[in-house]
Amino acid sequence: MPEEAIQLYTDAITILEEDGGGQMAFDLYRSATAVYIKLEKYLDAAPLQLKFGLAASKCNATNSQCKAYLSAIIIYLYTNDYKQAEMCYNDCSQIDAFCKSDQNRCASNLLAAYSDGDIEEIKRIAQSSSISNLDHSQRAGDSEFRKEKKCCFDFEQTRKRDMARSPPLMGYNSNEVL
């Protein structure tokens, strides 16, 4: 049944955008993202947030656009894919509205803290207003939103895995212990 809901949401988004009602689709993007997160289909949720960012850009809704891009970055971190999160951040940073936003600074700080292995900073950033005010957090409910932010608390396990995969690329000393 949730998969059917996602299909209905995405069909409605397509129809609204084709008819020029892109801004009316914003709640549908948020709802579909919440369902993906609830189903733990994070690799579907992140691209949907990027698509939402593009739709928001077309409507000059820069606040929603920037929130969508930050959400995608957080979702990639939650999936323990730092490289994808970093690539997403780099792509989004090419967009002027995102470059100048609080969400950009939050994403940059989050990625830097992750790269540096600063667990306390990650936890602090996870409590910031930039993250707590993300659009779909209210739609997904607190427990589902905590799943998205959980990337900050699964950090140690993810960082160790990343170090084992490519220590020179991540800038870590392979003898370093958390």
Q: Domains plus CATH for the chain? A: 2-167 (1.25.40.10)
pLDDT of 176 over the 60 cut: no
Q: Which residues contact 38 (CB under 8 A, 6 or more apart)?
A: 2, 140, 144
How many C-beta atoms lie closer than 10 Å to residue 41's C-beta? Answer: 15
Q: How confident is the model at residue 139 (pLDDT cuts 50, 70, 90)?
A: very low
The mean-pLDDT minimum among 5-14, 89-98, 130-139, 165-174 falls in 165-174
* Measured CA angle at 82 (ends 176, 105), to 5 deg: 105
Distances in Å between the Cα of 139 and the Cα atoms of 30, 168, 177 are: 7, 40, 39
Cβ-based burial of 125 (10 A; exposed 0-12, middle 13-18, buried ≥19): buried
Cα distance between residue 175 and residue 135, in whole Å: 41
When comparing pLDDT for 65 and 22, which is higher?
65
pTM exceeds 0.75 for this model: yes
* Separation CA 121–CA 140 (nearest Å): 25
What is the Cα–Cα distance from 62 to 111, expressed in whole angstroms? 22
